[in-house]
């Protein structure tokens, strides 16, 4: 006789964001084990990919830029670099994880726009093509070059945690890390999980529900700068060095969170062509233009 599962809820702070995880288990041993596995996964990822930790793998690579010393990488870093390469190719160079150094020019504390000279200097340190890498090592050839997995790791964490819990027999649950969502499986009664997306143009949230898959968002409505009355997003275009201007916010629904996240970032990077690009690639999305108009496209599978 199958017992009824009970709901486990976790709320905590990780990867610089508030996180909420819910899943159903049958016994407390499963709950305990799942929690420990989640903690292990997140702390491991933070330890390897956090820019704020001097001893992380990513910081080590960045510190050695221009020093002549290459860094050995494992299968996971290789996978992430290959994934970043795929995104670079698909976006004609707009999605570039070496554009982290641009951040120094734009930031909440800056009161004025950077000069053209400053932008030119920054652009010299950017360029995915400049990275020297093999399947076992990576090296940044110019001092000041930086790798930043910020746009990939949080979503990858959501996918990884979902898979870890699935491997342990947990079939029902939802993972949300700072707004990036990955569903393990429908609720035990067969219902989908309700999700709300903040609509930047008005106070109402967009409500939807998903049985499976993921949702990730990108947008400037929470983090942006106002300089001389003009709004600049925090998403920087590596080719111009300047923030993108186009869509205000976009949310993508697809199977994997890491893919949803990259597609959302890509849509923002496409600037004014963002909406057309979303439609052309037949993606499932919600988006909000600069003037507040919202658009959406949801194919039938996402609503089942």
Residues in the site for other proteins, rule: CB under 8 A? Answer: 2, 26, 32-33, 36-37, 41, 75-76, 79-80, 82-83, 86-87, 90, 156-157, 159-160, 163-164, 166-169, 254-256, 258-259, 262-263, 281-283
CB of 182 to other proteins, least distance (A): 10
Nearer Cβ to other proteins, position 85 or 289? 85
Least gap, CB of 119 to other proteins (angstroms)? 30
Shorter beta-carbon distance to other proteins: residue 160 or 244: 160
Residue closest to 242 by CA, chosen among 114, 93, 90: 114
Min CB(209)–other proteins separation in Å: 21
Q: Is 291 helix (H, G, I), strand (E, B) or coil?
A: coil
Nearer to other proteins, 24 or 156 (CB): 156
Q: Is the dihedral of CA 124, 144, 74, 179 positive or negative?
A: negative
Alpha helix (H) residue ranges in 133-289: 150-167, 257-269, 274-280
Q: Among residues 26 and 224, whose Cβ is nearest to other proteins?
A: 26
**Which CB, 176 or 232, lies closer to other proteins?**
176
The distance of closest approach from Cβ of residue 160 to other proteins in the complex, given in angstroms and rounded to an integer, is 3
Q: Which phi and psi (to 5°) does residue 139 adopt?
A: -150, 135
Give SS3 for 100.
Answer: helix
Measured N-to-C along each axis, helices 150-167 and 28-49 cross at an angle, to the nearest 10 degrees, of 160
Q: How far is the CB of 54 from other proteins (least distance, A)?
A: 24
- Of 281, 232, 287, the closest CA to residue 259 belongs to 281
Partner residues linked to 185 by β-bridges: 173
Place of tokens 């945690």: 161
Q: How, if at all, do strands 180-185 and 213-219 pair?
A: antiparallel
Closer of 26 and 221 to other proteins (Cβ): 26
User: Which residues does 82 contact at the CB level (< 8 Å), separation at least 6?
Assistant: none
Quote the least distance from Cβ 73 to other proteins, whole Å: 12
* Shortest Cβ 74–other proteins spacing (Å): 8
If the CB atoms of residues 75 and 226 are measured against other proteins, the closer one turns out to be: 75
**Distances 166 to 9, 30, 161, 183 between C-alpha atoms, Å:** 16, 12, 9, 10
- 279: CB partners within 8 A, 6+ apart: 297
CA distance 205 to 199: 5
Q: Which residue has the tokens 């009970």?
A: 6
Closest separation in Å from C-beta 123 to other proteins: 26
Residue 46 or 90: the one with the smaller Cβ distance to other proteins is 90
């Amino acid at each position: 006789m199958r017992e009824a599962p009970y709901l486990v809820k976790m709320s905590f702070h990780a990867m610089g964001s508030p996180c909420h995880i819910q899943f159903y288990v049958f016994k407390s041993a499963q709950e305990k084990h799942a929690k420990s596995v989640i903690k292990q996964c997140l702390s491991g990822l933070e330890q390897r990919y956090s820019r704020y930790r001097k001893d992380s793998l990513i910081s080590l690579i960045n510190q050695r830029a221009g020093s002549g010393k290459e860094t050995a990488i494992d299968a996971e870093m290789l996978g992430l670099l290959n994934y970043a390469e795929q995104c670079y190719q698909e976006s004609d160079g707009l999605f570039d994880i070496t554009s982290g150094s641009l951040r120094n020019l734009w930031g909440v504390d800056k009161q004025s726009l950077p000069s053209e000279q400053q932008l030119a200097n920054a652009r010299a340190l950017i360029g995915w093509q400049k990275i020297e890498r093999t399947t076992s090592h990576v090296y940044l050839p110019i001092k000041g070059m930086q790798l930043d997995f910020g746009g990939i790791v949080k979503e990858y964490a959501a996918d990884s945690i979902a898979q870890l819990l699935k491997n342990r027999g947990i079939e029902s649950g939802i993972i949300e890390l700072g707004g990036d969502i990955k569903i393990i499986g429908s609720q035990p009664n067969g219902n989908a999980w309700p999700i709300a997306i903040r609509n930047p143009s008005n106070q109402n949230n967009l409500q939807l529900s998903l049985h499976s898959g993921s949702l990730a968002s990108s947008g400037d409505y929470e983090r942006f700068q106002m300089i001389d009355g003009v709004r600049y997003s925090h998403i920087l275009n590596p080719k111009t060095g300047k923030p993108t201007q186009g869509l205000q916010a976009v949310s993508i629904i697809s199977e994997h969170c890491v893919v949803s996240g990259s597609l959302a970032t890509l849509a923002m990077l496409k600037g004014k062509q963002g909406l057309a690009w979303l439609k052309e690639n037949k993606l499932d999305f919600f988006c909000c233009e600069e003037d507040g108009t919202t658009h959406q496209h949801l194919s039938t599978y996402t609503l089942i």
